[in-house]
Amino acid sequence: MIKPALYIISRQTLLRQALSHLLSGSNRFREINGSVCFSESRLKAGALEENTWFIIDAELPDYEIQELLLLANRGGGRVIILGSSYNAKRIIELMPLKADGYLTTDSPQDELFAILEKVESGGPVIADSLIPDMMNRLSASLQVKPEKEILLTPREQEILELLAQGYTNGQIAKKLIISVNTVKNHVHNILEKLGVSNRAKLVSYAMSRGLVSVLLVALVITLLISINTSVC
């Protein structure tokens, strides 16, 4: 089997160089490329082969991360989000985008390689250092009463629950037996009512204000525990 190629997308030069040096000795990738941002890597997008992986800095704009996810998915590649443990909130906000792995810059080398192996076998994987913050945020949402002034229709609430589970517009349309355009309209209305700009922030906001069900939060916590156990 041909080894994957890897693009490290970050504006931090030292981060790109350090990761390139570390991973070049692992014999896991056929080539490793560093790039400042997606616009630079896009110059080579037409020549990207299948099974191209990306390690993406969580501080990149949402639209760049979303485009890289689409690019990787089309070619059967993988995407790992890398961020600072001091800004775990940002990484958590990106989880609805459904990357293959989530890693922090203070993760030890052994954990990095373990996550790469798990991602290769199907993922998703979350670094140990992210689990406490996620558990705290999700547990806190169990104690938050919904804000009464935010009124979602029953259909909008149903779609919000599905978004929180990572469903795409197409999957929601199929499940609810409605058109994709109808789903898009509902998502647009939900974003406007909650005052958030994109899906990456939607689920985090909804959980923090008790707008998704206690059952769903409990399921997410259970999933996190199972993912964490599988990596160890």
Q: What is the pTM of this model?
A: 0.62
Is position 11 within any domain?
A: yes
Is position 113 within any domain?
A: yes
CA distances from 74 to 49, 71, 213 (A): 10, 5, 33
Question: Could you tell me which of 89, 14, 22 has the C-alpha nearest to residue 6?
Answer: 22
Is position 82 within any domain?
A: yes
Element (H, E) at 5: strand 5-9
Peptide bond into 124 cis (omega under 30): yes
Is position 131 within any domain?
A: no
pLDDT the model gives residue 48: 62
Query: Looking at 91, 126, 161, which one is the last position of a domain?
Result: 126
**SS3 state at 97:** helix
Question: Which domain covers residue 35, as residue numbers?
Answer: 5-126
pLDDT the model gives residue 93: 73
What is the CB neighbour count within 10 angstroms for residue 74? 11
Full pLDDT tens readout for the chain, 232 residues: 678 888 898 888 888 888 998 898 888 888 888 776 655 555 444 556 677 888 999 888 877 887 788 777 777 788 899 988 777 778 777 776 778 888 888 888 888 888 888 888 876 788 777 777 766 665 555 454 554 456 788 898 888 878 877 778 888 999 999 999 999 999 999 888 888 887 767 766 766 666 655 444 544 554 454 444 444 4
pLDDT the model gives residue 179: 93
pLDDT the model gives residue 222: 46
Is position 133 within any domain?
A: no
Strand order in the sheet with 5-9: 31-35, 5-9, 52-57, 78-83, 101-104, 125-126
Number of domains in the chain: 2
Q: Domain with 175 in it: what CATH number?
A: 1.10.10.10
Is position 43 within any domain?
A: yes
